[in-house]
Amino acid sequence: MTTYQVIDLESFPRRNYYEYFMATDTMFEMTVKIDVTQAVKKCKDEAISFYAYSIFNLTNSVNKIPNLRYAHIDNQLVEWQELVPTFTNFNQETELFYTLWLEELTDYTSVDREYKKLIKDYANTTDIAPMGDVPPNVVNISSIPWLHFEHFSSHSGAIKNNVTPMITIGKYEKGGSQLLMPVNIKVHHATVDAYHVSLFFEILQREMNRA
């Protein structure tokens, strides 16, 4: 498990914002269409999973923004050194999803290998979390590969003031000369502003454009 540092609220530049939005438990989400034309071609040319490639780039983009790596541990605000992805997969027979996770994000080819191994190993699972306890330092990634949505919204009251980012991607479709994929991110306003979300999408687009 990666390490974290406890945030000293006395010197935390966002302290006023953090305390205000924690008190109101304010979250917000944005959906942006990402151009995945180059990414789709790359995955086909190299025979790698587009979903695995997306998971790799989504997680890397999150990890480049400190505000997206905050979490609460023992009632303290902390910043993880690195997040790892949980991701959903689909059991075709039961028509139920389940959640898996990856520990190592060395490069996209190793992520592709581990992803393919995991979905093969757990293809017939009937458990929502067959790998057991999920690591605490995660970014949650879900996929809705059947729909090209304009916006997606999820509301969970189970964990109050949850600052862990939640990302949902949809089916990519042709838009003019591009292949566009909807990406939704849900964040807590105590730790993240629209600026940081905009930066996330900017970095993600750059990562998905890599040849």
Per-residue pLDDT of the chain (211 residues; tens, 9 = 90+): 579 999 999 999 999 999 999 999 999 999 999 999 999 999 999 999 999 999 999 999 999 999 999 999 999 999 999 999 999 999 999 999 999 999 888 999 999 999 999 999 999 999 999 999 999 999 999 999 999 999 998 876 556 678 999 999 999 999 999 999 999 999 999 999 999 999 999 999 999 999 7
* H-only helix segments in the chain: 15-24, 37-46, 50-63, 108-121, 194-208
Four-point Cα dihedral 65, 71, 77, 82, nearest 10: -50
- Name the CATH superfamily, with its identifier, for domain 4-208: Chloramphenicol acetyltransferase-like domain (3.30.559.10)
Query: Is residue 141 a contact partner of residue 86, using CB atoms and an 8 Å limit?
Result: yes
* Residues acting as catalytic residues: 189
C-alpha of 113 from chain center: 19
Q: Does the global pTM surpass 0.85?
A: yes
CA distance 204 to 57: 7
Burial class (CB in 10 A: 0-12, 13-18, 19+), 15: middle
